[in-house]
A and B are shown apart, each in its own frame.
Chain A
């Protein structure tokens, strides 16, 4: 018998024994495969893309007539709130929140019109009783969104009114232009009295226009991008003043100067007609919100929420599996007393570790394969990249996780400590791996913790492979591969120390 055969026999002894030990526990294997599958299925079935409207009570501290209208149109403002009642003080609102009768209480500002007319914002305050920071952020976002909707509605109505006025103005502008034309003809004919009479008509027409520009003024300004100097009312005032300033009786200026001035006024009226036309043509919604935003994903596939979390679930399970397998393995050998036999037998720590690695790697691979197939063919989760890349990430993650497990197992005294250690690493993985919280939300020092975890690299790489169709990048190879080798060496050194003579 060669030494190599004897050495290999020792490795195979652990491989067969540990694998058989897992196979002898079909419930364990079933749980490992079906557990995550059922969780993901429940999540997929139960997850709601849309949040149910929040039940809202209005807190109205005065008896303004606008409140009835507000209530009547409350649901028009936002689909996110559903009006369920009205109270007249904040204490009653808080009681409603505590009792669960309402999700939020919207405190309506007293006399909002008066506040706005005084140049201040009328602020709606939204009270709620939610503790979850994410829910708090959501309510804050919904409140802002609703107020934006309200503001938009007000602006829409204002613009619509302005457009109606612009219609009236546009109807009056031809009379203005005709008066100017008639005035120019009279001047060119030398009929200055006629010109003076036409100017009086022109001034009257301009004053009538000025009376129509209350609502349209600001809106047209915004369309033209003009400042206050060039407002509609300002333009009309300038036009009126120019008409009055014309030297129609020939006392001071030449005829050419007056005709040039009339020509300038004609161009201004034409510009005003054009602005009015543009203003009426553009829909009010566009005027109120001239810019929109749209996003598109450049990834190879469109993802559902369940799809997105699937790689994380696979990775999290495999990491936990590897750590538990490795973590319990050596500590249980010690508790059983078999390490004492190993010390006496012709064994090297390397044989023990290689055999155990191989057994648990096979077990992890079987679980990963079963889970992967279920996800691909039952949930329809896409795998755009190659199966080889997928397997590579799974193997690397399993090796690194086993390494953590074996190191953990060498450091703890009892299997309870090993299980606790595995749970802590599971929690670390859940919070810091990018599983459900983007790493961008973490500060750079904490991201070091994230990238120290194998699962972070695995989730990142699995998402790339499955959804972007790319291969395993160099960083993943180095981090998971290098980490696996390092952990193996540390575990080997610790096992060597553990099997030394006491």
Chain B
């Protein structure tokens, strides 16, 4: 697996043979909205999650990558070719699931799948392949039902089957899990992982920040700007400046003890969350946790528990966006490390 295709890295030197590559990719509409200077470098077989709030430019980015839209600036290449120059063979390697349903409501499940499969030739529209796909999305029992009569989740699954029916190498999925229940969303991501394991490259947009955990790489988009690209873990660390450890004291937190403890284990940041709980930001939790345990034992400080805390991606996302809005650099992991002898600022009840 290549290194995380961060924005800075991808701008500096594209990874060899990236499946999706963009440099300074922009599309600005008359209203001023759009996407600005996107840099992407997505390797083959990766699941790339594009996370951002509604209106942040995710769909525009997908449309630029699929050739539906022309860029106003910059360049984009998919499988080494600009999307506006795709020929028939290249288009046959692309799968695209638009954000809104494009299914024909008056047709049956099977008729819809047959239509979209036939667009890619007879080999995609074989009974065997369609049956395989319908089983894959668990619609094998509903082939004759009209789309108008099936649930929203079933429609989304059918749309996914229609996108995959021709075995594309690169799959663009624009909010595939929008509006469906968590159980089904999890199934979707399991399917995406299967596809990735089979060698397909997936470009998935989502509003559900928590879905970042299923991706190999995650790009955070806000107001048309790509704030960062990282692995899910890297993103978490980026947001909080390192790993997070929660320490629950048996007694009320003593600020002097906390400060000394943080300095001793080389914490980057410390927040007192409530009367008993403290959050420590450390470089590596796996290293700091044994140190912390030993120090507490030596000092005879009673605690209920001390463990690594994985902040939910919602918090990660909010943190990244807020930092961007505050003008703070995103990804301070390397840049704002606190020296072991530096004076730690302790913030109380920071939650």
Which A residues fall within an 8 A CB radius of B? Answer: 1, 3, 5-6, 9-10, 12-14, 16-17, 20-21, 24-25, 336-338, 340-347, 501-502
Contacts and interface: CB of A to CB of B under 8 A. Distances in A.
A9 B119 CA distance: 7
B66 interface: yes
A501 B68 contact: yes
A17 B69 contact: no
Interface of B: 63, 66-70, 83-84, 88-89, 91-92, 94, 96, 98, 100-102, 104, 106-107, 111, 114-116, 118-123, 125, 146
Contact of B121 (A9, A17, A20, A337): A9
17 contacts: A1-B123, A6-B121, A9-B122, A13-B116, A17-B115, A20-B107, A21-B104, A336-B102, A341-B102, A341-B119, A344-B96, A346-B120, A347-B91, A347-B119, A501-B69, A501-B70, A501-B83
B104 A17 contact: yes
Given A21-B104, A337-B102, A501-B68, A5 B111 contact: no
B84 A20 contact: no
B301 to A, nearest CB: 61
A62 to B, nearest CB: 76
A239 B27 CA distance: 116
A337 B146 CA distance: 19
A3 B91 CA distance: 14
B118 A24 contact: no
Contact of A346 (B69, B91, B114): B91
A341 B115 contact: no
Given A6-B120, A17-B107, A340-B102, 17 more contacts: A6-B121, A9-B118, A10-B118, A10-B121, A20-B111, A21-B104, A24-B107, A336-B104, A340-B98, A341-B102, A344-B68, A346-B91, A346-B120, A346-B121, A501-B67, A501-B70, A502-B70
Contacts of A347: 91, 119
A345 B125 CA distance: 14
Contact of B119 (A1, A3, A345): A345
B122 A341 contact: no
Contacts of B104: 17, 21, 336
Contact of A338 (B102, B120, B125): B102
Nearest to A24: B106
B118 A12 contact: yes
The interface residues of chain B, by DSSP majority, are classed as loop
Contacts of A12: 118
Contacts of A17: 104, 107, 111, 115
A338 B107 CA distance: 14
A16 B115 contact: yes
B119 A10 contact: yes
Interface centre among B88, B116, B146 (most CB of A within 10 A): B88
A16 B118 contact: yes
Contacts of B116: 13, 341
Nearest to B172: A344
Contacts of B119: 9-10, 13, 341-342, 345-347
A5 B88 CA distance: 13
A12 B119 CA distance: 9
B114 to A, nearest CB: 7
Contacts of B69: 501-502
Contact of B115 (A5, A6, A13, A24): A13
Contacts of B125: 9, 13
Nearest to A17: B115
B162 to A, nearest CB: 8
Contacts of A14: 115
A16 B114 contact: yes
B118 A13 contact: yes
A216 B89 CA distance: 103
A21 B88 CA distance: 27
B98 A501 contact: no
B107 A344 contact: no
A12 B101 CA distance: 22
Contacts of B114: 13, 16
Contacts of A6: 88, 120-122
Nearest to B122: A9
A340 B91 CA distance: 13
B94 A344 contact: yes
Nearest to A338: B102
A378 to B, nearest CB: 31
A12 B123 CA distance: 14
A457 to B, nearest CB: 34
Contacts of B121: 1, 5-6, 9-10, 346
Nearest to A3: B88
Nearest to B163: A341
A341 B111 contact: no
Which interface residue of A12, A24, A342 has the most chain B CB atoms within 10 A? A24
Contacts of A1: 121-123
Nearest to A336: B102
A342 B120 CA distance: 11
A197 to B, nearest CB: 115
Contact of A344 (B89, B91, B111, B122): B91
B120 A337 contact: no
Contacts of B101: 337
B149 to A, nearest CB: 12
Most buried by B among A9, A12, A344, A345: A344
A3 B92 CA distance: 12
A344 B116 CA distance: 12
Contacts of A342: 119
B121 to A, nearest CB: 4
A147 B102 CA distance: 72
Contacts of B68: 340, 343-344, 501-502
B98 A346 contact: no
Contacts of B89: 346
Contacts of B111: 16-17, 20
Contacts of B96: 340-341, 344-345
B98 A337 contact: yes
B110 to A, nearest CB: 10
Q: Which of B66, B69, B94, B102 has the most CB of A within 10 A?
A: B102
B84 A501 contact: yes
Contacts of B102: 336-338, 340-341
A341 B115 CA distance: 12
